[in-house]
Chain A
Amino acid sequence: MDAKTTTQPRHLSLEESYAYDRKTLDYIRKAAAHGLYEIRGMGAKRKLPNFDDLVFLGASMSRYALEGYREKCATKTVLGTRFAKKPVELEIPITIAGMSFGALSANVKEALGRAATEVGTSTTTGDGGMTSEERQSSKTLVYQCLPSRYGFNPDDLRRADAIEVVIGQGAKPGGGGMLLGQKVSARVAGMRTLPAGVDQRSACRHPDWTGPDDLAIKIQELREMTDWEKPIYVKVGATRTFNDVKLAVHAGADVVVVDGMQGGTAATQTCFIEHIGIPTLAALRQAVEALEDLDMKGKVHLIISGGVRSGPDVAKALAMGADAVAIGQGVMIALGCNGDAYYQDGKRVSALEDYAALGAAPGYCHHCHTGQCPVGITTQDEILEQRLEPAVGAKHLKNYLKTLNMELTTIARACGKQNVHHLEKEDLVALTLEAAAMANVPLAGTNWIPGSEGK
């Protein structure tokens, strides 16, 4: 008998475990190799309910649409009218989120200021203080007061247009800032009063107040400092958002900024980014309900951030009740983050080799923490930072912001609104059960809002 004719082909077993998939195996091996948690940049990468899970009900028989190309649709946005003598007036409801000099290069901060000024919106400082580049290039600059108080001083406070007291950040509610030694250059260290090259782990709690009652006095101090002129924002990472927003209002905020868990970071533990905080969609709904509960909607303004990427995202955020949005990661991507090339003297130059040297690739890169950004954005390296030319960056960012604003007004007109701030929750339905429950809007084709029974 011929053995060859009777042997069965060998079965190759490739049944992947759901719990111990390749990502998990990789995580365990890395932990075993290093004995240290992973630190990375950008925001949550896991699949989360988001604005894509909502759609607009455009006008038809029961609503009257506006002509997309002819009829005006206002985008003007005023923030901070509650107590401030000089509220912030913006041409569009799309602002640039707080990102530090240190995390970003001085060139990038200048590009942000230029683009924001051209489209009539605001930029925001970050942990590490205000640079002269961003003050000079930004018409409207929001000055953050953070737990670390790095570089915080009364002169910059007085030359800011608004003040943002940062309690937390969506990527890491409950955590302080982090800037690894390779980005703590002489200039960054000098601004932060730190030895150059230290792994800077900044405080997670403010040094001179502990609870909301103290914060109320702290906010009064900032108002006294600036003769009650400047709006005071309070920024929270999204967790117990309903209560946090109410407490921020109680503490005297003019504007509350809520940053959902998709919000980015320049360096944070992955366990923080992926496992602490709630999605932006859920946080926005709670923030609006908190303001409505206090009858403060429209009196205290709401800025939402964390994964706002597109014009439709902005429109949905406004429809759900936000007065404005703040964008960080989208702004960086517009500047060239995760792109395969950078522009130098008008020419495209490939960055692929530098991505490879980092162990990353365009489209996947989250290596902001290394300071070796291949396209020169999240770096303090004197050579790398030249890869982002402020004029080029500003042009791309201006285009991005203009596009978002055009999409926003297109959607608003389609819904019959002459002002983007007239978009309302009744214009939205959800495509998934999760989004319907979180955003508190009906599942498309039904009147059903999960969780609304008996209310």
Chain B
Amino acid sequence: MENLTFDLAQTKVSALNHYLHHDAPGKGAHKITVINPDGAHNIAVGLDAPVEVEVIVHAGYYAGGMNKRARVVIKGSAGTGVGENMMSGVVHVQGFASNGAGASAHGGLLIIDGDAGLRCGISLKGGDIVVGGSVGSFSAFMAQAGRMVICGDAGDALGDSLYEATLYVKGGIRSLGADARVEPMAEADIAIVADLLKQAGLEHDPGAFKKVASKRELYHWNADANQEY
């Protein structure tokens, strides 16, 4: 079986997820189309198989959450926490994403063609995120590892309390968060941005991006810091 369609007007999300967990990895369909999601939450969470799930059109919270290996494409917009804690594979939002997109993602690639809301890439742990539009405030808050490419603008407090994650922004940055700083783009950075843009299918000049990384001044207690952060 190559293709299978789940109509969420007729079937519960639980039945879809159960199929994706237990049947899809074996002899089940390799492409699953989800219609009439009507913004349902938790579509295609916890996948661990090289399948493709296409959601037509809008998804609610946590679509593609904790994904491994699968490719989840949302033809519309996604609610809070899309691709949260994903480990590998691809989650692609063709519309806009709400808050906490890609939160604590350990691996894989999250692509958002439009804008993302607040806290995009919060607690990022090794995943990659490419946003075609802009991101809201507190994006990459406490991001530990991984890369974020933002083709539009970033809101306030970008990269607050950043660890080892690296952020690339083409547009303006309203403000940087505590311990974040702009660093010069090296050749390696341009190559990273070029590669991620290519994977996301977005065309921008990689050289036009700014790099944001951690000052690493909050890594250790400092009694003389006078709470200036």
Q: Are B223 and A194 in contact (CB under 8 A)?
A: no
Which of B13, B45, B223 has most chain A Cβ within 10 Å?
A: B45
CB within 8 Å for A149 and B123 given contacts A203-B142, A208-B62, A224-B42: yes
In the docked arrangement, what's the CA distance between A449 and B223, Å? 48
Q: How far is the CB of B172 from chain A (nearest CB, A)?
A: 25
Q: When the two chains form their complex, are residues B220 and A199 in contact, meaning their CB atoms are under 8 A apart?
A: yes
CA distance A149 to B142 in the complex (A): 11
Instruction: Please indicate the chain A residues that have their CB under 8 angstroms from the CB of B60 in the complex.
Output: 217
| Set A34, A153, A207, A228: member contacting B103, Cβ < 8 A | A207
Interface string of B117-155 (1 = CB under 8 A from A): 001001101100000000000000110110000000000
Counting contact residues on chain A (CB < 8 A from B), the size range is: 20 to 34
Query: Are B62 and A218 interface neighbours, CB within 8 A?
Result: yes
Q: Which residues of B contact A158 (CB under 8 A)?
A: 46
Minimal beta-carbon separation of B128 from chain A (angstroms):
14
Nearest chain B CB to A42's CB is how many angstroms away?
Answer: 20
Q: Is A36 an interface residue (CB 8 A)?
A: yes
What distance in Å separates the Cβ of A197 from its nearest Cβ neighbour in chain B? 8
**Contact (A221, B223) CB under 8 Å given A203-B123, A208-B81:** no
Give complex CA distance A217, B43 in Å.
12
A101 CA to B53 CA in the complex, in Å? 36
Q: In this complex, what residue of A is CB-closest to B81?
A: A208
Within 8 A of B (CB), among A226-257: 226-228
Kindly supply a per-residue 1/0 record for chain B positions 215-229, scoring 1 wherever the CB is within 8 Å of any chain A CB and 0 otherwise: 000011101100000
Contact mask for chain A residues 416-435; partner B; CB cutoff 8 A; 1 contact, 0 none = 00000000000000000000
Cβ contact within 8 Å between B21 and A227 = yes
Bound-state Cα–Cα, A235 to B64, Å = 26
Interface bits A188-220 vs B (CB < 8 Å: 1, else 0): 000011110011000100011110001001101
Residue A451 at the chain B interface, CB threshold 8 Å: no
- A390 to B80: give the CA distance in the assembly, Å: 43
State how many angstroms separate the Cβ of B14 from the closest Cβ of chain A.
Answer: 6
CA distance A321 to B123 in the complex (A): 38
Best-buried of A203, A224, A226 by chain B (most CB within 10 Å):
A224
Q: Which of A193, A198, A218 is close to B125, meaning CB atoms less than 8 Å apart?
A: A193
Are B66 and A225 touching (Cβ within 8 A)? yes
User: How far in angstroms is the closest Cβ of chain A from B5?
Assistant: 20
In the assembled complex, how far is the CB of residue A391 from the closest CB belonging to chain B, in whole angstroms? 34
Q: Which residues of B contact A208 (CB under 8 A)?
A: 62, 80-81, 84-85, 100, 103-104, 122
Q: Are A153 and B224 in contact (CB under 8 A)?
A: no
Task: Tell me if B104 and A152 are in contact (CB < 8 A).
Answer: yes
Contact A207–B224 (Cβ < 8 Å): no
Complex contact A193–B144 (CB within 8 A): yes
- B 30-63 binary contact with A (CB < 8 Å = 1; else 0): 0000000000011001101000000000001110
- The answer to whether A221 and B65 have CB atoms under 8 Å apart is yes
Residues 264-300 of chain A, each 1 if its beta carbon lies under 8 Å from chain B, else 0: 0000000000000000000000000000000000000
| Chain A contacts for B42, CB-based, 8 A | 217, 220-221, 224
Q: Are A217 and B68 in contact (CB under 8 A)?
A: no
Residue in contact with B81 in the complex, picked from A36, A153, A209, A224, CB distance below 8 Å: A209
- A148→B68 contact, CB < 8 A: no
Q: Is the CB of A227 within 8 A of B18?
A: yes
Q: Which residues of A contact B85 (CB under 8 A)?
A: 149, 152-154, 208
Residues of A contacting B62 with CB < 8 Å? 208, 217-218, 221
A154 and B68 form a contact (CB under 8 A): yes
8 Å CB interface, A32-56 against B: 34-36
CB distance from B75 to the nearest CB of A (A): 21
Instruction: Select from chain B the residue with minimum beta-carbon distance to A180.
Output: B221
- Decide yes or no whether B111 CB sits under 8 A from chain A: no
State in angstroms the CA–CA spacing of A16 and B201 once bound together. Answer: 75
How far does the alpha carbon of A181 sit from the alpha carbon of B66 in the complex, in Å? 29
Complex CA–CA separation, A324 to B100 (angstroms):
35
A-B contact pairs, 18 of them (CB 8 A): A149-B123, A153-B85, A154-B48, A199-B219, A207-B103, A207-B119, A207-B123, A208-B62, A208-B81, A210-B99, A214-B61, A217-B42, A218-B61, A220-B41, A224-B13, A224-B42, A225-B46, A227-B22
Residues of A within 8 A of B (CB): 34-36, 148-149, 152-154, 157-158, 180-181, 192-195, 198-199, 203, 207-210, 214, 217-218, 220-221, 224-228
Beyond the given A154-B87, A207-B104, A207-B141, please list 5 additional residue pairs across the A-B interface where CB-CB is below 8 A: A36-B221, A157-B46, A208-B100, A217-B80, A227-B18
